[in-house]
Structure formats: C-alpha cells, structure tokens
Structure 1
Amino acid sequence: MSTRTFRIAVLGGDGIGPEVCDQSVRVLREIESRLNNVTFDFENHHVGVGEYRVSGNALPDTTFAACQSSDAVLLGAMGLPNVRYPNGKEIAPQLDLRERLGLYGGVRPIRLFNEADTPLKGYAAGEIDFVLVRESTEGLFYGRDAVLDPDADEAFDTMRISRDCTLRVCRLAFEIARKRGGKKKVTLIDKANVLSSMVFFRKVFDEVAAEFPDITADHCYVDASALFLVRDPQRFDVMVTENMFGDILSDLAAGLVGGMGMAPSGDIGATAAVFQPSHGSAPDIAGLGVANPIAMHLSAAMMLDWLDHPECKRGAKMIDDAVAKVLADPAKRTPDMGGKLSTTEITDEILKAI
C-alpha cells in the first residue's frame, strides 16, 4: 500500500501560540510514528502581530497560498491587545482566513474530562458533552471592516444572515449530530423574538431540520441558552448559532469544563479547514512555559479526524484517549487549572499515555 502524505501548514501565531503549537507538533510526530502508511509534512509559516510588525501584513500572500494548498492548517493563537490596526481594531488574521477560505462552520466541542475541572456541582467525566457550531463568515462580524467616522455622533454594525451560509452551517450541525449518536438533537440558538435576521435564521433552520427526520430539532433564545448552559448543560447535544452569539457562548461553555485551555475548535469549509484552540494569545504568560496546551492538542485531534483517512482517525482517537487518561488524575494540570505542570511537562504526560 502506498504512503499518504498530508501537508499541514503550521501557523504559530503570537503570545503563547507558538508555545502550544510546537507541543502539538510533538504529539503529532509521535502519532505519525504509530500510523501505517501515513506521514505528515509540516510547513511553518509566519502570520500575526510579529509578521505585521515586520512587513505590515499580518497574513502575507505566501502564507495564505500555503494554507490554500495544504491539506489542513494548524493555527496557534494570534493577536496582541496592545498592537492594533490604525482603525483601533485588533489584528486578527484568523478571521481573514475564515472569510477568504470560506470556513463557514466553527465547530467547538465541549467535554468534561474530570469532575474536578467544572465549577458546576454533580457532574462526572463525560456528563457535560456537547458541540457548539458557530457560523463563522457573516452574522454580526460581517461589518468588521467598516471604517468609523471619528466625528460621527453614532455608529452602526450590520448583521448579515444569508440563506446560503445558514443552509450550510445548519446542515453541518445536523450532520455532526447524526455522527455523534447519543441524543441526536440540534438546538438553534437565536433571538427570533426581537431580531428580523434571527426570524430568517430560524426559518432556514426549520427547512434544514425537515431534511433530517431522524434528528430532533428545537429552538432556544440566546439569553435563555446562557442560563441553561449553567443550570442544565445536559439538555444540549449540538447547538448552532450566529457568529457573535457563538463567540460569546463558546467562552461560557469552556468555563464549564475547566476554562479556555480546554476548548478546541475547528473552522470547517467545503474544501479547507483550520484547527486552533479557542483561547487567545495570553500575553501575560507568554514565554513562561506554563500555558495549557490541551486545547491545542484536542484541536490537532480534530484535524486528524477531519482529514478523513482511517489511520488519521485512529490517530485522533489516540490523542483523545491519551488526554482523557492524563486528566483522570486531577494532579496533572497546568497552573490555569490549579496545577503545577509546565506546558512541556503535561505534553510529556500525554506522549507517555499514547
């Protein structure tokens, strides 16, 4: 059997981005050594604030071209709050990648690995387990490139909800629910009691729901969803929502299972995908070697699963199982979760568990 080589564009990012990204490449190298007839070709590229300071372009054309030609992109956290564009907005090439590559589906799995990691009472490992799917190319982020008139007396942002984008992100959510098994349920998170754009989102969602008669579909207002995530997270299986709502709720959801260092993500398109932790660049701890790499490792596992090769899927399960095995011991934690292990040390534990 011939060997399949997957090209992976590695974009380290800023702050703690390179620290956790490098550790995940270590994990992937170990996985590679255990797979049959599969290899990974990692190509490092410059992106983010560091590149912006050098060239004035946070996402150089050569880097974007590499992302286009790669089988997948592994992305470290990017941006630094004290470095901004002249319009006052943060440098966020990850958003440019989503829009230019058509990465419409922000898939954010939330899973509790140990009861010690949740602020909620009475939940054991695996009892908080759902996926939030965020439309990632429009919504309230649609107007992010608008220029603010410094002399204006008011400002507006436009929320765009299109049929095409809504169809594809809702179908993705239902497909995920079908593959997950379990509850086989998709909940639309909207604000259809107030916003016309959300009434439209709900209408399209209901059309898609009719295509999946084996999946239960329901609706929940975004404010009620925030309450239920804290009071009854087990009511959710797969959630699908608009860009800004998803941005906010995914952070809340991460807090249920230990924090942003436990929250992986994949931005999925028709022909491309980018995988990154949901957290930011955390400049306050950059260079200290204490960042939590778990979200990055779980994002790498999502990448392997998305590559859709039997051996890669087996590698994804190796990573997921190793993370679960390590986190079963509440003493094996980085400082953000009350532990004492460094970024490298907890990765070492995962490597031993593979």
Structure 2
Amino acid sequence: MTKTFHIVVLGGDGIGPEVCDQSVRLLQQMQPHLDGVEFHLDPHDVGVGEYQRSGEALPDSAFEACLASDAVLLGAMGLPNVRYPNGKEIAPQLDLRERLQLYGGVRPIQLFHESDTPLKDYGAGDIDFVLVRESTEGLFYGRDAVADLSADEATNQLRISRQASERVCRLSFELARRRGGKKKVSLIDKANVLSTMVYFRHIFDEVAKDFPDVTAEHVYVDAMALFMVRRPHDFDVMVTENMFGDILSDLAAGIVGGMGMAPSGDIGDNAAVFQPSHGSAPDIAGRSLANPIAMHLSTAMMLDWLDHPETKRGAEALKAAVADVLSDPNQRTADMGGKLSTVEITDRISRSLDRQLQGQGSTA
C-alpha cells in the first residue's frame, strides 16, 4: 500500500522561492525511487508578498493546510524594508512556531570540508553537533509588546515554563541517544545571573535523571560562545533558551561555512516545519546566487522526520549526495568563494542523488 505524505510548501520571500524550488525538484526526483511512498505537494503563498496583497502574512487557509499536513517545507520569509505598522519585521515563521507549538528548533551543524571553516586543523566530520533552541517562549515570549518611544524605558518579558523546558530538554536527550557517538547534552544558560535560567537548569537536571546513559553538563552562554570557536569537537547536542539559540546558531553556522550551510527543523509533538536557518537575502534574490545547501539539508531532515523506512532512505541518499558534491572544494556558490549558481550546484547534487539512490555511491 502506498503511503501518501501531504507536504505544504511555503516558498516565502527573497531567495526563499528559488532555493525551495530546487529542493522540491530533488524531492520529486527521488520519489520514483522510494517504494510505496508518494509526496502530495501543496504550495501556499505566505510572507511579505501575501501581506502586501491581502493584508495577511499567514492567511487562515495556509495555516489550516499546515495544521493538516504531515510536514511543512519553507524557503525563507520576511524583507527588512517591509514591516508591520509597529515597526517589526513580518515573520510568519514565528507565528507558525507558536501556533503549532514547534518547541524544538533543531539546528544540525556539520563541517563537510576543511576549506569551509575559518578554524584551524578541522576537517570533514570533525565538527558535528546539534543546537536545540526552545522556540515558543524565552525572551521571544514578549515579542508582541509595543514600545512607547516617548517613554523613559522599554521592557520585554522572558518566560521559562516547566512544560516548555521539560519537552525541549527531553527532545535533546532523545536526540543525543539516537545520534550515538558522544551521547552528551550541554545546557546553555545564564544561571549565574538570571532566576529564569536557574529554573531552566533545575528542570534540565530533573529530565537528565531519566537518561542515565547520556552525559549532562552546564555551560554559561558567554563561555559557549568561546568554546564553540575554541573546541567545537567537544560537543554533541546543546539545548538552550530561544534568544540564546537564535544568536549561537548563527555563530555555529559561521564555523562550517556560513548560513547557507545551516539547515533547521522546528519540531512539535504533532507538526514540524523545515527551513534553512538563513534569511531571505533580497539583495541577491532572483539572480541564482543563493546557496541552496541549507534548504536541501532541511529537506533531508524532513524526510527523516517523516519516519518511514523509505523516506529515511531518501534522507540518507540526499545527505550523501550533498556530502559527495561538497567533498570537492571547487563546487561552491558565491557566498563560499565559488562560482556555481543555485541551479548548477543543485544539478551536481541531483546527479549524485541518482547514484546514491541506485546504490552506486560517490564518484568524487
């Protein structure tokens, strides 16, 4: 019996649609090779363009489709020069995280080639960790507050709840257990200053007792900014508050080649959205200059999350194809010092993907 997966596709703004289109192309390419699996792709317009057209950045029809889907594939959303009347950027991806309760922002960080990192003495596979960002509260909890620009001060609320903390910590320990390897979870906090972080650490330690086979440690966020550069090889899975994760995930991307190499999945109990960690980069939109690797790796994350033996096989084949292409340092887009266009590097990945799916492996 064929299993049909309903995947909502949200291209977004700027470079979002062009990188998303290339990943959809790879998804369609692999479908005939996956036994008993079918993808029903359901595109919807969201983001700045839709806001300018209808006044709604995330229309009810698109949200309902996401709610009913098996997964959501998202390009990138928002344009810095188009904002809501209160001055904030249009970011329906944040609305999706909160409304779908996508509490686990899973950000894998992997080095594919020594030429892609600014750090010395690191080669392919030497940097391989996952940053898990709690994505429904933290300092982002107060993002709807509107500052009175004539007042003497402005404040935001940082919220840490037991429910959100327990579930994101549990997700992180389960991920470390599945990854094998070091089997270590590092809590990134600021418990020496903030009472909310003391509470977060307390809940982390409670959850850790249920995973005696996984090492648990605490690292202050400022120290982690240093350690991520000095000794990234020491880490396996990290879990942290929303704002800390937002900042550190960019630093993490920087040590493996930049935002174009950083995939992500926003995971909930009943829904998930997969997107590159980068923004919409309107300055290069429509020129086929964007790096699609983060989008392709996000697509592989989605296939793995769908949890069917054949989608998992597709995920492994896509990741292997990306690694195969990136094993040649001359195969890079402009952001990484190369000359390949968005389409050209995807063409190479496409050819390798065929070989992976046919069991022939790399020709690099």
TM surpasses 0.5: yes
Q: Which residue number in structure 2 is paired with residue 311 of structure 1? A: 310
What is the distance in 1 between the residues matched to 2:275 and 2:58?
16
Name the SS of the counterpart of 1:8 in structure 2: strand
1-structure distance, mates of 2:120, 2:32: 41
Counterparts of 1:120 and 1:148, CA distance in 2 = 40
Pairs within 5 Å for 1:4-23: 4-23=3-22
| Structure 1 residue 150, shift from structure 2 partner | 2.7
AA at the equivalent of 2:184? K
Q: Partner amino acid for 2:223?
A: A
**Separation in 2, partners of 1:252, 1:49:** 27
**Letter matched to residue 269 of structure 2:** A
The one-letter amino acid of 2:173's match is F
The aligned residue for residue 361 of structure 2 is none
Query: Residue 117 of structure 2 corresponds to which residue in structure 1?
Result: 118
State the alpha-carbon separation in 2 of the partners of residues 150 and 228 from structure 1.
38
Amino acid aligned to 1:274:
V
What secondary structure sits across from 1:157 in the alignment? coil
Q: Partners in 1 of 2:335 and 2:149 — Cα distance?
A: 39
Query: Using the alignment, how far apart are the partners of 1:327 and 1:63 within structure 2?
Result: 35
Once the two structures are superposed, what CA deviation does each residue of 1:302-324 show, in whole Å capped at 9, x if it has no partner? 00000000000000000000000
| Matched residue, 1:28 | 27
SS at match of 1:151: coil
Shift >4 Å, 4+ stretches: none
- Distance across 2 between alignment mates of 1:73 and 1:142: 23
Letter in 1 for 2:347: D
Aligned residue type for 1:298: L
Q: Which residue of 2 aligns with 1:343?
A: 342
- Structure 2 residue aligned with 1:223: 222
Q: What is the CA-CA distance between 1:55 and the residue it aligns to?
A: 0.6
Match of 1:41 in 2: 40
Structure 1: unaligned runs, 5 residues or longer? none
The offset of 1:147, in angstroms, is 1.7
The aligned runs of 1:89-128 (5 Å cut-off) are: 89-128=88-127
Q: Deviations over 1:270-323 (max 9, x none)?
A: 000000000000011001111000000000000000000000000000000000
Name 2:55's counterpart in structure 1.
56
Give the Cα separation in 1 of the matches to 2:351 and 2:179: 28
Asked if residue 180 in structure 1 is aligned to residue 155 in structure 2, the reply is no
Which amino acid is 1:114 matched to?
A: H
> C-alpha offsets along residues 147-185 of structure 1, whole Å, 9 cap, x if unaligned?
222321100011000000000000000000000000000
Any idea what SS the aligned residue of 1:297 has? helix
SS across alignment from 1:76: strand
| TM alignment of 1:1-354, pairs within 5 A | 2-354=1-353
Q: State the one-letter code of the partner of 1:196.
A: S
In 1, distance between residues paired with 2:38 and 2:291? 27
What letter corresponds to residue 183 of structure 1 in structure 2?
K
- In the alignment, the residues of structure 2 paired with residue 54 and residue 298 of structure 1 have an alpha-carbon distance, to the nearest angstrom, of 31
CA offsets 1:41-79 (integer angstroms, 9 cap, x no match): 111101000000001110000000000011000001100
Deviations 1:241-273 (A, max 9, x none): 000000000000000100000000000000000
Query: TM-score, normalised on structure 2?
Result: 0.97
**Aligned with 1:18: secondary structure?**
helix
Which letter does structure 1 place at the counterpart of 2:74?
A: L
Structure 2 portions without partners, runs of 5+: 354-364
- Determine helix, strand or coil for the equivalent of 2:284: coil
Distance (whole Å) between structure 2 residues aligned to residue 31 and residue 324 of structure 1? 17
Q: What amino acid is the match of 1:125?
A: A
Query: C-alpha separation between the residues in 2 aligned to 1:295 and 1:11?
Result: 16
- In 1, the alpha carbon distance for the partners of 2:155 and 2:51 equals 28
What TM-score comes out, normalization by structure 1 length? 0.99
Provide the C-alpha distance between the structure 2 equivalents of 1:153 and 1:93, rounded to a whole number of angstroms. 30
Q: Which whole-Å deviations, capped at 9, do the CAs of 1:10-56 have from their partners, x for residues lacking one? A: 00000000000000000111111210010101111010000000011
Query: CA offsets, 1:202-232, max 9 Å, x none?
Result: 0000000001000000000000000000000
Q: For 2:349 and 2:288, how far apart are their aligned partners in 1?
A: 16
How many residue pairs get matched? 353
Task: Determine the C-alpha separation between the residues in 2 that align with 1:187 and 1:143.
Answer: 26
Task: Give the 3-state SS of the residue equivalent to 1:160 in structure 2.
Answer: coil
RMSD: 0.5
SS at match of 1:275: strand
Q: Distance in 1 between matches of 2:327 and 2:42?
A: 34
